Amino acid sequence: MIALDSGDSSMPTLLVGVDALYVGRKLRDTIAAATGLPAERILTFASHTHRAPMLDDSKPLLGSPEPGHLQRVLNMAEAHATRLVSAPRAPAELLAAKGNADHSINRRLRKALTLSLPPTFGKVVNAPNVAGPRDETIITATVRDSVGRALGVIWNYACHPVAGPHANVVSAHFPGVVRSSIRSAEGDAELPVIYVQGFSGNTRPKASANATSVVRKIQRFLTGPVFEDMSPERYDEWARGLAETTGRVRSQERALKVDGIGVRRQNMRAEEFYTGGGPSVTFARVSIGAHFAIVGMNAEVMAEYAPRVRNMVGGEFVCCAGCMDDSFGYLPTAAILGEGGYEASGFCAEFGIGRVLPSAESAALQGFRAVARAAESGVQSGAPTAGEPTQNV
């Protein structure tokens, strides 16, 4: 958890990162009630790790929160947020960098034959697509105090945290590996490190495209490329490689000029995106000066949207953020809707909604344009400051 304001504001912005499948509404509501902050100044991000706990109680088909764990998380968040908001502010600077990885792969492939009962032909399935869109941009940002000590780190990359080797173990997956690497580099075992899950609705670890078991090799021979969970050794190699790449990007960070911090939200009716009820669709932007921004929505967004959103926002460092707040499901493009597959409509029943509407893409672009404009008026300007650091929830 990181609290930011622009020096003379009594209303900071809280960035909250959680190792969870989905965050839901309770976390943000709890923090808002405890601190008195408007909800629009609290952004919660799920790592979307498939082997992390569920905190969202609105998707029972995907899993229900364990009451004791949920309450512990809420209690920790309330305590940390209250302390951050009331802590004395200290001058700080923001340093940022960006680079590219090569660690994800598109997961949507049209196969001539799919082995199922009955077999299907020409269907888009979850399989490696080396030619499919992906977003390999890594953006890192570090808040440092006047003597150079790291107060908090943000890093952004688009990749589903899936295919880990241990099926029945709660794990942070690669966000935890990268977090540990960053903390080790800074010499601070409790440094707040927030992973902002990128637009990864149709991407996952590239290393999971290697078929190793006999069954997967037979499937690959019969039907073409397949995914498989990584072995412990292969997973460690892949995750360490991503951590090393992130570290190289961080080594290039430079201080940014910050003349203010702004927040903008845009809420849109669910009926513009999908049928069958569910949460409203929310877009948000946090700008730290003219060069750094986090722009997100409460959905798993396809990789194709990332360059379009970055072009809208401008600025050198634009973190595209999915899995924010109470996610409603996937945001496909119109082309993906036409192709079919899980990300087009196959997910809807599990998320408790009807179907995605053809207007979803144009409505989403409208929402992103609304927050891409300059941050809301009335936001205080001045040197950036940060509250005392607190460990990640």
**pLDDT in the model for residue 385:** 44
Q: How far apart are CA 80 and CA 74, in angstroms?
A: 10
Q: How far apart are CA 327 and CA 282, in angstroms?
A: 9
Exposed/middle/buried for 52, CB within 10 Å: 0-12, 13-18, 19+? buried
CA-based max dimension of the chain: 65
Q: Which helix (H) or strand (E) holds 124?
A: strand 123-129
For residue 220, the 8-state DSSP code is H
Q: Which two tokens stand for residue 375?
A: 């941050």
Q: How far apart are CA 355 and CA 328, in angstroms?
A: 12
> What string of pLDDT tens digits covers the 393 residues of the chain?
898 886 655 678 899 999 999 999 999 999 999 999 988 889 999 999 998 999 999 999 999 999 999 999 999 999 999 999 888 888 889 999 999 999 999 999 998 777 777 778 888 989 999 999 999 999 999 999 989 999 999 999 999 999 888 878 888 999 999 999 999 999 999 999 999 999 999 999 999 998 888 988 988 888 888 999 999 999 999 999 999 999 999 999 999 988 888 889 999 999 999 998 778 899 999 999 889 999 999 999 999 999 999 999 988 999 999 999 999 999 999 999 999 999 998 999 999 999 999 999 999 999 999 999 754 433 333 334 444 333 333
**pLDDT in the model for residue 39:** 86
**pLDDT in the model for residue 119:** 77
Q: For residue 33, how many other CB atoms are within 10 A of its CB? A: 11
DSSP string covering 303-346: TTHHHHHHHHH-SSEEEEE-SBSS--SEE--HHHHHH-SIIIII
Q: For residue 219, how many other CB atoms are within 10 A of its CB? A: 19
Q: Which two tokens stand for residue 95?
A: 């340093």
Q: Which residues are bridge partners to 324 per DSSP? A: 45
Is the distance from CB of 174 to CB of 240 less than 8 angstroms? Answer: no
Q: How far apart are the first and last CA of the chain?
A: 7
Ranges of each domain in the chain: 2-386
**pLDDT in the model for residue 277:** 79
Q: How far apart are CA 166 and CA 339, in angstroms?
A: 33
